[in-house]
Structure 1
């Protein structure tokens, strides 16, 4: 008697390969008593110890390993294409590789149909002028005019790009005109997850850090604040440092809520990243 195919998760709804694989494994375990991680790994001729480490995020899923797993997942050609790009989006260290992967995903019709909010968020964060112009609408005397906006921006931006940014913000309701013709910044929940979120934020932060470097030379010290220190710490203390940074951000938001008559847009961030490798990282090289 032929068995009915197992109804596995819709891959096109996922933005992180681990989320999909963990869901897929869960469904397989619940519907196929013969299924196990060990058997799946053996069929793929991969070490049984490797798979749990990948699913938990402790090991990277390589392209070679994924190619070995795919024949035992009953996926269509389109699903396989999607899964391969999802791996790059989730695992690639290169920003360019992840960007190319997302561009390929956007060409898949079903992905575009199921994930309009993620693509909208990506486009919003992919251009720092979108964020700057949206915040600029809160400034007293704001004018929805490309020339006025161009004069307000500290970095020179072409009028054509500002016009395009305004069109995007209006069409996607990041800003809107009220009955009086005034521009408002409505509450707009930015929905983005998994690899798309990582790519969006990576590109946004890269752009903003580039502007931060320029501000050292183009903004007078009284109008900027760059504080930093280079320190040696125990990695176990890093979470405490992150908590302090988050607390500072919350306090800044409290000030913003009470601020009256805003006249300028600032980008405020907190940075912390390692300059050296941990001992276990060095040992693996």
Structure 2
């Protein structure tokens, strides 16, 4: 059990039952625990989605508020982060008006549902004058429990990045890239540099009080080849 808690081992079917018995999980608690184990050990996104759907179904039936479910839902669609930025920046605007500002197609109904969800989840709050404000200026999305939803978000935004090449003039976007051969050591340094760059951007955002548009920044670094066997670690 100690190795499982430390992430060094997985629970097999028999072990899962034993753990459930040890904690006296019965009924809905037991079903949810089995689905949680399935979610944590799933090897594919489809299997993770299936297990997550089971967890949601169990929680809904028992009226349980699941930790992390709201965050998972938030990162599962591009609509939520865009609406989170637009709603406070457009005081008094109706969902149809907010939808009209989005570059990619979204309905007024989807915007309305997104606002309601974010208020319910505590991501947005409704002010006394009927407008909306963010409960936190910045949100993160790097925890392991949200990895599937964050990957879904990254896929959507990567598609939008391709679309932006033809949709927007060069002075409305910034796209640059470099193809490079690197060692493992250089790779780690580049990743650290990108993390620092992201943090610097977040600092700029945190100190910017006026919003007149919503942008997306993608930082992508990925292999184009397999590793060369026998290559020296240092160049």
If the length of structure 2 is used for normalisation, what is the TM-score?
0.78
Tell me the residue number matched to 2:96.
Answer: 147
Which residue does 2:5 correspond to in 1? 22
Cα-Cα RMSD: 3.4
Provide Cα deviations, 1:167-224, integer angstroms capped at 9, x if missing partner: 2122223222222333211228969886531112112212221222221221222111
What pairs up with 1:1-285 in 2 under 5 angstroms? Answer: 21-22=4-5, 55-56=7-8, 66-67=12-13, 69-70=15-16, 73=19, 75=21, 82=32, 85-109=35-59, 116-139=66-89, 141-187=90-136, 196-259=145-208, 261-278=210-227
Structure 1 partner of 2:233: none
- Give the direction of change, closer, same or farther, for the CA distance of 1:175–1:277 in structure 2 (3 Å limit): same
| Structure index of larger Rg | 1
Structure 2, unaligned stretches of length 5 or more? 230-235
In structure 1, C-alpha distance between the alignment counterparts of 2:193 and 2:136, rounded to whole Å: 28
**Residue 266 of structure 1, CA deviation:** 0.6
Structure 1 unaligned residues grouped into runs of 5+: 1-7, 9-18, 24-54, 281-285
User: Which of structures 1 and 2 has the larger relative contact order (alpha carbons within 8 angstroms, sep 6+)?
Assistant: 1
Instruction: State the alpha-carbon separation in 2 of the partners of residues 255 and 223 from structure 1.
Output: 18
Given the superposition, is the C-alpha separation of residues 73 and 184 from structure 1 closer, same or farther in structure 2, using an over 3 Å criterion?
A: closer
